[in-house]
Structures are given as C-alpha cells and as structure tokens.
Structure 1
Amino acid sequence: MPVVIGAGVAGVTTALLLSKKLGYRMLVAAKHMPGDYDIEYASPWAGANYMPVSVSGTELAKWDKNTWGPLADLAANHPEAGVHFQKCEIHSRTKDLGSATADWFAELLTQFRQLPKEALGPGIDSATAFTSVCINTAICHPWFVSQCLANGVIFKRVIFEHILDAAGGGLHPNGNVDLIVNCTGLMASKIGGVQDTTVVPARGQIVIVRNEADRMLDVSGTDDGDGEACYVMTRAAGGGTILGGSYQKGSWESQPDPNLAIRIVKRAVKMCPALTNGKGIEHLDIIRHGVGLRPVREGGTRIEKEKIDGVWSSYGCAQAAVDLIEQAFESRAKL
C-alpha cells in the first residue's frame, strides 16, 4: 500500500486523487498537519491564487492547465471548500523582464482582456484583467483532509529521519508498504535518502488585514529590491486580505521583518487605494504578520519514480504523480 509523506497541499491532493482513482486505503504521514503554523510548513501561509507563469508547451504548463478545472469546480459548486471566483488584474512594467503571465492564459480564463492605457497607474506599461480564483487555505486545506477521510485515508503524525523509515513495520494498518510518495516539499532538502540540495526556500512575508479589496491585484515588480513583490487578494469566507510580499530565495528567516512589513503595506495601499478608502496605511486593520517558506527547486518541479532496493502545483502535479504510481503498480503486476 502507498504511504504519502507530507500533509501540505501536494500531499493531501495526491492522497485524495489516489484514494478516488485507485481505491487504496492511503496513509498520509507527516510532521505537520492542517491547522499547524510552522516555518517548515508552507501551505497554511499561502494567499493563495491561480496565476500561472509557465511557458506554453512545457510540462509545467500542462500541470497548470489541468489544475484550473478542479479549482473552478470548487469555486462554482463547493463553497464549503473556501475557494471563490474573483476579478483579477496584473499590472506589468516593461523593466521587469520575465515577469509576464503565461501566454496561454487568455485561452483558459474568462473575461480576459487588456486594460486601456488611460486606466493604468504611474509606472505601469500594460495590464490584463480576468476572472480567476482566490483560495482561503485556512478553510480549503482542512476541507481536503475531510474529503480524504471520507475516502478512508488515514493521517498520522510522524517525523522521519530517512525516506525509508516510511516503509517500517507498524506504520500502515495493513502492514505492507510497497510505495512511498514523497511530498515533503522544502524538507526534501534534508530528509535522509533524498537530500535534494536543489530544493531551497523562497521566503514569503505577508500582512493579513481585515480591510477588503474589490479585486486581486499583482504588479510585475517593485523598486524596493529583486526579492520583494506587491500583491493583494481577499480570501473567501472572512479570511481577511493578504498583502504581500517577498520572494527571498535562500532565506530561512522565520520572523517577520518590520521594515519589510512597512514597505509591503505602503505598496499595497498605493496600488489599491480602496483598501483604506483613499486614506493612509494607518487605516489598515492588521490581523497578523506571517512568514512562509515556499519550496523552490532548481530546474523545476520533480515528479518521477525511483526504485529503491534493501513526487505539486496542486491538482495537475498530483495527477501526474498518480499516473506514475499507476504505472509502477502496472509494471509490478506484469512481473
């Protein structure tokens, strides 16, 4: 039976798809579970939204495309999942090379259009508008767990020193672990037997406020440094509005930087005056500051199978992992 290591969005989505498609009594084993807030655990800190930047024709673009349908279905038919449709604008500056949205985006999302020049703010060279989804991870992540539980998936808190510890006796109720699905995210850089040194953190710092924005907004870059970003998104079901942010590659710092926080709120209010009805940052009602470490891998997401003697993007990546697992079991059945 398969064991999924990791209970972030990748782990629970993979477990859910496996339990639905293959009927396995899955086990998800992880150090952190939905509801936890820890610097090692990226999923709870995510905004989150659907805004791919992958290049058409690549494997990543395929995974991104395959993710939109399930997310749109959740927004349309499952309000309890904490996913909702939201108008979105991406403002681009010519000097921010390589920051444009995916070239296939217009074919997928509704109401996609270019904004007229007269609608652009100072320093913005072009902008696109469309309808996407915003995900309240505080609701959506536990909802995925509930769907897993309804399919018989078992969850256990376990800390593994080595990837093969997941195959040890007594972990799975059936006692026979013949496949391990590694969804450890950032911890893939540290766990024994994997230690993928190409996986590094990209530190994200956010400010969560009670003020609401009338749309999701994102700017292609800032003048405050390459590791800083500017975006605004209001979560569904009273989840507050996320003001971001940063993309500080290689940084493991877990504590919010107060100076960065000030820059974040200043950029957000300038980009979206509706947050404070045209007033200053002192009119923001702050809930909390947060820091999360995105798992980033040099060369892109790794989804592959490996035989050991003695792999996110959400739905699209999880489906690719499920396909590999099916192939693995089919190969074994033919032996």
Structure 2
Amino acid sequence: MSQKNVVVIGAGVAGLTTALLLSKRPGYKIVVAAKHMPGDYDIEYASPWAGANYMPVSVRGTEAAKWDKDTWGPLEDLAQNHPDAGVHFQECEIRSRSKDVGTATADWFAELLSPSPWFKDVVPNFRTLPKETLGSGIDSGTAFTSVCINTAIYLPWLVSQCLKNGVIFKRAVFKHISEASSSGIHPGNKVDIVINCTGLMASTLGGVEDKKVVPARGQIVIVRNDSGRMYDISGTDDGPDEACYMMTRAAGGGTILGGSYQKGSWESQPDPNLATRIMKRAVELCPALTGGKGIEHLDVIRHGVGLRPVREGGTRIEKERLGGVWVVHNYGAGGAGYQSSYGCAKAAVDLVEEASREKAKL
C-alpha cells in the first residue's frame, strides 16, 4: 500500500489521540494542523480546561457507551505504567438526591447516578455506599476507582508520543475544510485524507457547519487544597444548570472544583458569583478541603471557563467525500472528550483505513 498523506485538523484531545493511534499504523504521513496547541488557553479550545476524569454518562447499549468502554483500558494502562503521562488512579464517589430528577445536571449524569450503571463491570471496585455514610439530603451513592488526568501534562505528552512516531505539527487556521487539503499544509503536497477534530469550531468551519454542535459552558475553580478523592453529586440548589463535582489532578495539578452546564452560552469570562457558589458547594460536599472551615480557606490557583463541544445526537464519527477528498469526522463529544478519547479515536482510525482501501480501488 502506498503512503497516504493525512491532515488532522485540531489539537485537542480528540485530534491528538486520533493522530497518535493512526501513527502506530503503517503507511501514513500525518500532519496535525491547528489554530490552538497544548499550552494555549483559549475559549475555543476546550481540552486544557477539562477536569479530566473517567465518569461515564453515556447510555447503556449506545455507541457512546462502547467508546467509553474502549477508553478505560488505555487510561488504566497510562495510570499504571506511564507516570510521565500525568494520569493517576483516584477513588470516586457519586451521590444522588431524588429531588434533582429532571434537572439539566441530573439528566446529563443519569447513567452515572444509576445504582447499576453499565460501567460497573469495567471500572475497579464498583460498590454501593451505605445510606448512613452519605450525609443529610443524599438518597443514594456509589463509588469506584477512576482516573484523573492532569491536562497540562497529558496534552503535551500526547504531542511528544506523536512526534516520536513522526507526526508533524503546524499552526494553521482554516475557514473551509477544503483548505486542509489544498493549502500546502502537508509536505507531500497532495492530501489523501482529512480528519476533522475541530470540536466546537465544527459549527462554523466551512464545508461542515454542523449546527447540531453547541457549547455547554463549564466554569471551574482550581485550588491548591486536596479533596482526597473525586466527588460528583446529582444537582445543586443553586439552579438546574449548575453542578457540583471535584477531582484532584495528578502530579501537583491542583484540585478542580466545578461547575456548570450552561447550554448555548459562549461567555468566556468567569462569573465571580458563580465561582463563589461553586466554592461553597464544594466545601459543603467535602469539608476535608478546608479542614471544616469556610471558602476563605480555599487557596485559589485560578478561575477557568471551558466550552464543552456538545452535539445533539452525540459525537459524530463518520466519513464522507468532500471535493474529491475523504474526510473522517471525530468531533462533538461534549463533556466526554477524555473518557471516550481512545474509543472515538479508534473508530475514526478504522474509518481512515476504510477510506484508504476505497481510495486504493479508485
């Protein structure tokens, strides 16, 4: 099989994981072309702002659940065997209040809140928590061993693994997807396959303009305090699109306190009132954060806002011919970008292989 020239648009977790998995297969010369790269902090670039962890919210029996399931093994392997990736194991507790049923957060977390979710046989140590240990107002709870990813280490690690395999990285801004195959981005000049991992920007990229992709605004506070474990709860008393969760990133990455799920909001600046509510909820859920004291004892590193690239109907992983070039899409994972990353990337790479075979026949 002759070498295929591939351009991956986007250097978020989807683009980098797809490029990495494809670089392990023979016969591809890969360029990752992106406006934003690891190290950048921009509202268009969701990946650095993510927690990030493994807390599946995908519905049993769906493709999304399969992608999540296929991602646990690689993340577990990184936590066990590759300390340089910035991924570590962390105990996770999920708490559920029946009064939250029907809210945006509870709907988003529905599978996660189930007493018997599909992933109970995937993650280690899944168990139901005794009600008397849960605190007032909490009706049920589960726990399991998860992973937490320090995105500031992990995204550059993905880049380094790609570089080791010969992947080339370039800054580029595309108004239309056809520019990725016609603008001299690839040293081989002729581009055979374009992989579209543009996240939220798939809504505006010419030739794609997927209007099913909308932002779900997440606001976080990163603190030096250690929560000891990961927590998530079904809802808050502060509004249906606010959430309460926390996780401590590997390798000194700080503890993420969240959050919100504000669908349709593009607001890039942190809301100080929301930040105060996030901190109050976190200290209430996990008094150990401040040794039982108030939010003034939280040691804030920074405030952040990220826009999850949510796609109505779920992540788009499919291939199509655009202007005589095969395009493979992998975008729209919403809040599941990391926890579905390897499953989605593998599905996308399988489509690249399919497109290569079909191109060979032409």
TM class, shorter-chain normalised? over 0.9
1:195, 1:333 → 2: CA distance? 29
CA shift in 2, pair 1:23/1:132, >3 Å: farther
Of 321, 324, 327 in structure 2, the residue corresponding to residue 307 of structure 1 is 321
Of 150, 153, 156 in structure 2, the residue corresponding to residue 139 of structure 1 is 153
What is the aligned partner in structure 2 of residue 100 from structure 1? 110
1:202, 1:82 → 2: CA distance? 26
- TM-score in terms of structure 2 length: 0.91
What is the aligned partner in structure 2 of residue 320 from structure 1? 347
1:226, 1:163 → 2: CA distance? 37
Asked if the contact 2:178–2:323 (Cα under 8 Å) also holds between the matched residues in 1, the reply is no
Report % sequence identity: 75
Asked if the contact 2:91–2:145 (Cα under 8 Å) also holds between the matched residues in 1, the reply is yes
What is the aligned partner in structure 2 of residue 53 from structure 1? 57
What is the aligned partner in structure 2 of residue 331 from structure 1? 358
Asked if the contact 1:215–1:233 (Cα under 8 Å) also holds between the matched residues in 2, the reply is yes
Once the 2 structures are TM-superposed, how far is the Cα of residue 221 of structure 1 from its aligned partner? 0.9
**CA RMSD in angstroms, aligned pairs only:** 1.0
What is the aligned partner in structure 2 of residue 16 from structure 1? 20
Matches within 5 A, 1:80-95: 80-95=84-99
2:172 is equivalent to residue 158 of structure 1 = yes
2:24, 2:54 → 1: CA distance? 24
Of 127, 133, 153 in structure 2, the residue corresponding to residue 119 of structure 1 is 133
Select between 98-107 and 224-233 the one with higher mean Cα deviation: 98-107
* C-alpha distance after superposition, 1:279-329 (max 9, x if no partner): 111100001000011100011111000011362531000100001111111
- TM-score in terms of structure 1 length: 0.98
Code of the residue aligned with 2:342 in structure 1: it is Y
2:269 is equivalent to residue 265 of structure 1 = no
Code of the residue aligned with 1:334 in structure 2: it is K
Code of the residue aligned with 2:25 in structure 1: it is K
Once the 2 structures are TM-superposed, how far is the Cα of residue 210 of structure 1 from its aligned partner? 0.4
2:268 is equivalent to residue 254 of structure 1 = yes
For residue 80 of structure 2, give the secondary structure of its aligned residue in structure 1. Answer: helix
1:136, 1:104 → 2: CA distance? 26
Of 31, 34, 37 in structure 1, the residue corresponding to residue 41 of structure 2 is 37
Once the 2 structures are TM-superposed, how far is the Cα of residue 23 of structure 1 from its aligned partner? 4.2
Once the 2 structures are TM-superposed, how far is the Cα of residue 223 of structure 1 from its aligned partner? 1.4
Asked if the contact 1:204–1:247 (Cα under 8 Å) also holds between the matched residues in 2, the reply is yes
Of 178, 192, 201 in structure 1, the residue corresponding to residue 215 of structure 2 is 201
Asked if the contact 1:186–1:200 (Cα under 8 Å) also holds between the matched residues in 2, the reply is yes
1:324, 1:95 → 2: CA distance? 43
Code of the residue aligned with 1:314 in structure 2: it is S
Asked if the contact 2:29–2:167 (Cα under 8 Å) also holds between the matched residues in 1, the reply is yes
Once the 2 structures are TM-superposed, how far is the Cα of residue 207 of structure 1 from its aligned partner? 0.3
Asked if the contact 1:88–1:131 (Cα under 8 Å) also holds between the matched residues in 2, the reply is yes
Once the 2 structures are TM-superposed, how far is the Cα of residue 169 of structure 1 from its aligned partner? 4.3
2:182 is equivalent to residue 168 of structure 1 = yes
CA shift in 2, pair 1:175/1:283, >3 Å: same
CA shift in 2, pair 1:204/1:169, >3 Å: closer
1:205, 1:274 → 2: CA distance? 22
Once the 2 structures are TM-superposed, how far is the Cα of residue 222 of structure 1 from its aligned partner? 0.9
Asked if the contact 2:131–2:140 (Cα under 8 Å) also holds between the matched residues in 1, the reply is yes
Once the 2 structures are TM-superposed, how far is the Cα of residue 40 of structure 1 from its aligned partner? 0.3
For residue 204 of structure 1, give the secondary structure of its aligned residue in structure 2. Answer: strand
Code of the residue aligned with 1:92 in structure 2: it is S
Deviation >2 Å, runs of 4+: 95-102
CA shift in 2, pair 1:186/1:169, >3 Å: closer
1:215, 1:321 → 2: CA distance? 33
Once the 2 structures are TM-superposed, how far is the Cα of residue 61 of structure 1 from its aligned partner? 0.7
